[in-house]
Structure formats: C-alpha cells, structure tokens
Structure 1
Amino acid sequence: MSCNGCRVLRKGCSENCILRPCLQWIDSPESQGHATVFVAKFFGRAGLMSFISSVPPNQRPSLFQSLLFEACGRTVKPVNGAVGLLWTGNWHLCQAAVQTVLRGGALRSIPEFLGGAVLTPPDLDEASEAEATCSDMFKLSHHQDPNPKYDCLLFDVDDTLYPLKSGLSAECTKNIIEYMINKLGMEEDKAPEMCVQLYKDYGTTMAGLKAIGYDFDYDDYHSFVHGQLPYEILKPDPIFKKILQSLPIRKVIFSNANKEHIANVLGRLGLEDCFEGVVCFETLNPLNKTDIPDAKAALELNGSKSSTIRSTVTDFINDSCETNAEFPKTPIVCKPFEDAFELALKIAKINPQRTLFFDDSIRNLQTAKLMGLHTVWVGHSNLTKGVDYALESIHNIKEALPELCEAIEKIEDIHFLEKVAIETSA
C-alpha cells in the first residue's frame, strides 16, 4: 500500500520507498500528508527526494524533521529561519508553526522578521496587531532568552560594509562639492572647505546646507550626489555574505544615506538579502513629519526653523572655528546626533543593551555608546574612547567577537538542525 507521503505527492510507492520511514515519527496519516506537502512545496518535490536519497537510511527520519523545521522557520522568519528563531529565544514559534502544518494550517511571515524592507515608523492603528502567524502562536508569549549577549547587529553602510580604499566615498564627496557649486551657486574655491566643515558640524554636508539656509529638494540632491557614482567599483563579497548568513540574529542597516543608494550598494556587494530592514534617510526624514514617532519632540531636538543664508561662506567657516560658536539648527535628522539614534532604535524595535553597532565614524560610535549600544569601529585596529571593539576589516567580525562564534557552534551541534544549516541558504 502507498505511504501517506507518496499518496499526497501522487507518485509510485514500493516496499523500498525512501519517504515512508521519514514519516514514521509523525502520528497520524493526515499529518504525515500535510508535512510532506509542505516540505515538498518549500524545497521542491525533486529537491526533497534528492535530500533524502543523499543520506544513509538511518539518518533520513532526522533529515526530514530538519527539513520540516527549517521550512517552517524560514516561512516565519525568512532571513535566518529556524536557527535564527532558536538563537533569539523564539524557538516556541517554530514549534508552533510545525504543529500548525501537521494539522493542515497555513503559515505567514511575522512582519518584524521580513527581510530587506525599509523600516518605517509604526502605524498606531496597527500597533496591537498580533505578531503570531498561526492559531498556536496567538496563544504563545513573546519572550526572549536572556542568555544571548546580543540579539541584533546594527550596520552602517558606506566605508563599513566595504572598505574606504574602494574610492566610492571619495567620488561621493566630489559630487557633493559639484552640487554645491553648480546647483547652489557656491564659490568654487570655497566649496571644498565648506563641504568638510558642514560634515564635521552636522554629520552630513546635506544637513549643514539646510541649516545655513540653502533651499533644495532632498531627492534632487540625492539623485545628483549618488546618481553619478561608479557603483561598478564595488564587487560581490561572498565571504562577508557567508559570515552574515552564519550569524542567526537580527541584522539591520542604519545609515544616513537614502534608500536607493543603500539598495545599490547592497546589490553590488551581493548582500541585499542579508538584512531584515533598513533605517535610512527616508525613515528618519519622511515627507510627512507626523509619520515619525514623537515627531514634535524630534523636531524640537533637531531644530526645524529655517535660517537665513550666511552672508558669505567665509563667515560660516570663521564662526565654526570659534570655540563657543552657536550653530544654526538643521531640519534633517541624522547621525551622529542622539535624536537620530532614538528614532532608529524605536522604529526598528532594537534593545541597545543587546545590540552591536558597526560604523566607521568615531562620532557615530561615541553617540551610540552613550545610547547604550555596544560599538565596533570598522576600518581601524586601535581602541579609543567610545569603542568596544576595533576591526581592520568587517571580515574580521568572527575573530573579534568570539562569543558569536561559540553560539553558532553550539547551535550547529543540534542534530536535527545541523544538516539544514549546511544545505540551505537565505
């Protein structure tokens, strides 16, 4: 008689069927059928049979169980799957998902686990929406395992995910200076010095230009500055991609850049599917300011009043050199200022005490440290104030943070997840 797996797959079955022993750990015939259909849809019917036939007969039941848990975990948490749920203390969600599949229920991704999305301020009308994805999950509490030291890795983009020596940032600076001269009418011999000074005073030259009264469109600025960049100088980074995929905890981007630039960089590096979300310029500076949580407070912190343009560029540079000079405020929210971090942490639902922040800017890191984050200075080998770790290259992340590697090794020791962790990819 045909086994319940072959029956639902509508394939021939025999006494030597390789699928039959894989299902014997599941109690009911109906559940065996549901599990087979779900795994076959996720990995493909041919893929499922190939996986099973590639291991010794005594390992096939465990392998099928691994495939089922990974398929459920990857459906609920697309970026890191079952391993990520285990590491972050949410294994109960994976177990509940498996039970739902065995009963014939449907699964969907938990919103906060969706990969690659630009994070936006939460809609208050949807704040009470359940995070569960099936009937069992509605009954489960959302608690975090207190044991892991970190549950999130927060990354800057430029000169962090790729090295400064690539030259992309230098090209960006050239474009900013050109914009200041050609679009804003700034004196050619003053623009470079002004560009550097505004960056030092405001975190970004763009924020500084707005502060001293220049009126320009955000999208026009980004299009000019980033639209002409030679992104082709960035090459795929399979080494770092593999490292990221081996770390089963949340990974989020936090950059002052606009979302299109970030997407272009991640795409060139081959990392576009390695992050759960992106906190970017548009996230912190939406067209409708009321879209930001506590928008009024944010505006008060960062300043929203326009300033009259300084009479000359020299006036501003001279004022900046004064020790007690009071700078005009900018309407733009950006690193390295605390209001930007506060909004980013709130929007991305990040616990700073359990987050590692990677950035090439020491000012950004020092603010992050004040906000309670653990900090990693990328592109440098010497520790300084406000820095917990220093990495010459982002590729050194495992060597510099051995506790993450130890956690991964412990997870990979679990038999029913080991095979899937090796054979599947996000």
Structure 2
Amino acid sequence: MTNQPSPARFSHVTDWVFDLDNTLYPHHSNLFSQIDVKMTSYVEQLLELDREAARSLQKELYRDYGTTLNGLMERYDIDPDDFLEKVHDIDYSWLEPDPRLGAAIRALPGRKFIFTNGDRGHAERAARQLGVLDNFDDIFDIVAADLLPKPAAATYDRFTALHRVAGEKAAMFEDLARNLTVPKKLGMTTVLVVPNNFEPTFSEIWEQDVEQEDDVDYVTDDLATFLETVIGA
C-alpha cells in the first residue's frame, strides 16, 4: 500500500470506477448523515421502536447484511422502492460544487462509472450538485445490482459483465476497504478514500476494516489532488 500515485502506475487504466457516498463527495460534507437519520426513522416507524433501539438495529442490519436495506428486506420483507425513496429525500445543497474534481475526472483517459449501493436518483442528484455528473458514462446502482449490495462478489460480476470492464484495466475508488476486496481479486487498482485528517470516532471504529488493508493499493484524503497527480496535471 502506498500513498504516492504517479501517471505511470495508472497508465494501464481504461475504466475508472467510483463509489459515491463519502468518496466522490467528501466525508466532511456530512450529507450521508441525513440518509443515516432517515434510515433510523424508517426502522423506528416500521417496527414501532424507540429511537435508540431503532438506531441499534439499523447498525446491526448494516453490519450483518451489507446495507440497512438488504437487512430490512431479508428480515422484514419491506418494499425496497419505498425505502429508497424515503431515505434519499434529503437536502443536496449541503454539497459544494467541486470544479477541480470535475476537471480531473473529465481528464481521465477512458470510461468513468459511479458504482453505488444507493439508487440512481440519489447518485444523479449528488453528482449534479457536485458538478461532476456529465463526466460519467453511466451509473451502476443498487437496482442494477438486483438489490444485492457491495461487497457481494456477484454484484461486481454483474457490473463488470454489463459494462465489459476488465479488472486488470480498471481502478476503483471506495471509502470502505471491505468494498475493495473483490475488485483487488479481479485485478483492479484499488484506492481507499478517507476523510481529511482522518481521526475515527468511537462509533466509527467498527467500520475501519483493518483486516482488508492488503486489498488497498493507495490511500488518499483528497480525491481531486490524487486524480490530478495521476493524470500529471
């Protein structure tokens, strides 16, 4: 694992794959906190729990099933469309447009994809607010994944088959190391995007994925600067 990219180390890449939440847009925007609150409220109302119990169950479902949605579908047979609509009813103005990031993505040689466990509408709204949406060739969302979230291997297989992506010619950017394990096995160059000056709080410790460290080729807390270095800007 290294933090020093260079154009030569990425010269083979023809497909650039980006997670959305806390990857394309920065962790410090706190946008995902709105979704997190909405998910807790959904569990609270669905099961008539108090806030604390709903929050605890939501995190349990996330840990055990990959996403809260997947857990709710497995255990309670909920309507996924209803869930996705409600939890993504948020204020996207929290995101500041990022012209530097947009220019860096646009300059990358080859195709660019958003690959998210959220839905297409959420990805489009967030990427549009960032000013980067028009730089992507397509969005592979949780619906395209047949509601099976990353890090399930079948979901990456579905993505690579649909878009004819060869792992050895691709790079993937993620904020969760466990979501880079399968891409690494597929031959992708893997980049972990962490918050600026990352200092995890107690509540975030279980999300660190220390055991997946070997699946990460690069780590960055500044995606735009990292991409500018890769393209030699």
Same fold by TM (over 0.5)?
A: yes
Counterparts of 1:248 and 1:150, CA distance in 2: 8
Give 1 or 2 for the bigger CA radius of gyration: 1
Counterpart residue type for residue 144 of structure 2: T
Counterparts of 2:74 and 2:81, CA distance in 1: 17
CA deviation after TM superposition for structure 1 residue 367, in Å: 2.5
Match of 2:168 in 1: 353
- Equivalent in 53, 64, 78 of residue 201 of structure 1: 64
Counterparts in 2 of 1:47-86, with a 5 A limit? none
Match of 1:188 in 2: 51
Counterparts in 2 of 1:379-390, with a 5 A limit? 379=194, 384-390=213-219
Counterpart residue type for residue 268 of structure 1: Q
Counterparts in 2 of 1:232-311, with a 5 A limit? 232-285=93-146
Residues 201 and 371 from structure 1, CA distance in 2 versus in 1: closer, same or farther, beyond 3 angstroms?
farther
> Structure 1: any 5+ residue segments left out of the alignment?
1-146, 286-331, 410-426
Counterpart residue type for residue 391 of structure 1: T
Secondary structure of 1:375 counterpart: strand
Secondary structure of 2:16 counterpart: strand
Q: Deviations over 1:2-39 (max 9, x none)?
A: xxxxxxxxxxxxxxxxxxxxxxxxxxxxxxxxxxxxxx
Counterparts of 1:372 and 1:203, CA distance in 2: 23
Secondary structure of 2:97 counterpart: coil
Secondary structure of 1:239 counterpart: helix
Q: Deviations over 1:108-147 (max 9, x none)?
A: xxxxxxxxxxxxxxxxxxxxxxxxxxxxxxxxxxxxxxx9
> Structure 2: any 5+ residue segments left out of the alignment?
1-9, 199-211
Secondary structure of 1:376 counterpart: strand
CA deviation after TM superposition for structure 1 residue 390, in Å: 0.6
- Equivalent in 83, 87, 94 of residue 225 of structure 1: 87
Residues 222 and 398 from structure 1, CA distance in 2 versus in 1: closer, same or farther, beyond 3 angstroms?
closer
Query: Does 1:157 find its partner at 2:23?
Result: no
Counterparts of 1:225 and 1:347, CA distance in 2: 27
Residues 241 and 399 from structure 1, CA distance in 2 versus in 1: closer, same or farther, beyond 3 angstroms?
closer
Q: Deviations over 1:74-117 (max 9, x none)?
A: xxxxxxxxxxxxxxxxxxxxxxxxxxxxxxxxxxxxxxxxxxxx
Match of 2:152 in 1: 337
Which is strand-richer, 1 or 2?
Answer: 2
Counterparts of 2:177 and 2:14, CA distance in 1: 23
Counterparts of 2:79 and 2:177, CA distance in 1: 29
Secondary structure of 1:282 counterpart: coil
CA deviation after TM superposition for structure 1 residue 184, in Å: 3.6
Counterparts of 2:225 and 2:152, CA distance in 1: 28
Identity of aligned residues (%): 29
Counterpart residue type for residue 58 of structure 2: C
- Equivalent in 193, 215, 218 of residue 378 of structure 1: 193
TM-score calculated relative to the size of structure 2: 0.84
Counterparts of 1:166 and 1:370, CA distance in 2: 31
CA deviation after TM superposition for structure 1 residue 272, in Å: 1.5
Match of 1:392 in 2: 221
* Conserved? CA contact 1:379–1:394, under 8 Å: no
Counterparts in 2 of 1:395-406, with a 5 A limit? 395-398=224-227, 401=230, 404-405=231-232
Counterparts of 1:268 and 1:399, CA distance in 2: 21
Match of 2:4 in 1: none
Paired residues in the alignment total 210
Secondary structure of 1:283 counterpart: coil
Counterparts of 1:209 and 1:248, CA distance in 2: 40
Counterpart residue type for residue 207 of structure 1: N
Q: Deviations over 1:378-410 (max 9, x none)?
A: 126899321001111111223653xx42xxx8x
Counterparts of 1:398 and 1:283, CA distance in 2: 27
Counterparts of 1:248 and 1:263, CA distance in 2: 22
TM-score calculated relative to the size of structure 1: 0.47
Counterparts of 1:225 and 1:149, CA distance in 2: 38
Counterparts of 1:336 and 1:272, CA distance in 2: 24
